[in-house]
Amino acid sequence: MTLEKKKKLSWAKKNILWSIITVGSVAITLFGIYSQDVREVILNGVILCLSCIGIG
């Protein structure tokens, strides 16, 4: 295989990997939004976070 072909293959691999990660992350985000009460959990965490202040 020539160097030019190797470079093209590496470029294609990176692009495919990037596409999979991007689509996957969007899917994970949407799944999280629809299956969990994200706002409730995050806000509960904020209210209860005494560890942040250092008195928990």
Binding site for other proteins (CB under 8 A): 3, 7-8, 11, 14-15, 17-18, 21-22, 24-33, 35-36, 38-39, 41-49, 51-56
In the complex, what is the shortest distance from the CB of residue 42 to other proteins, in angstroms, rounded to a whole number? 5
Q: From residue 52, how far is each of 22, 27, 43 by CA, in Å?
A: 32, 31, 14
In the complex, what is the shortest distance from the CB of residue 4 to other proteins, in angstroms, rounded to a whole number? 9
Look at residues 34, 40, 35 and name the one whose alpha carbon lies nearest to residue 48. Answer: 40
In the complex, what is the shortest distance from the CB of residue 23 to other proteins, in angstroms, rounded to a whole number? 10
Alpha-carbon gap, residue 9 to 20, rounded angstroms: 16
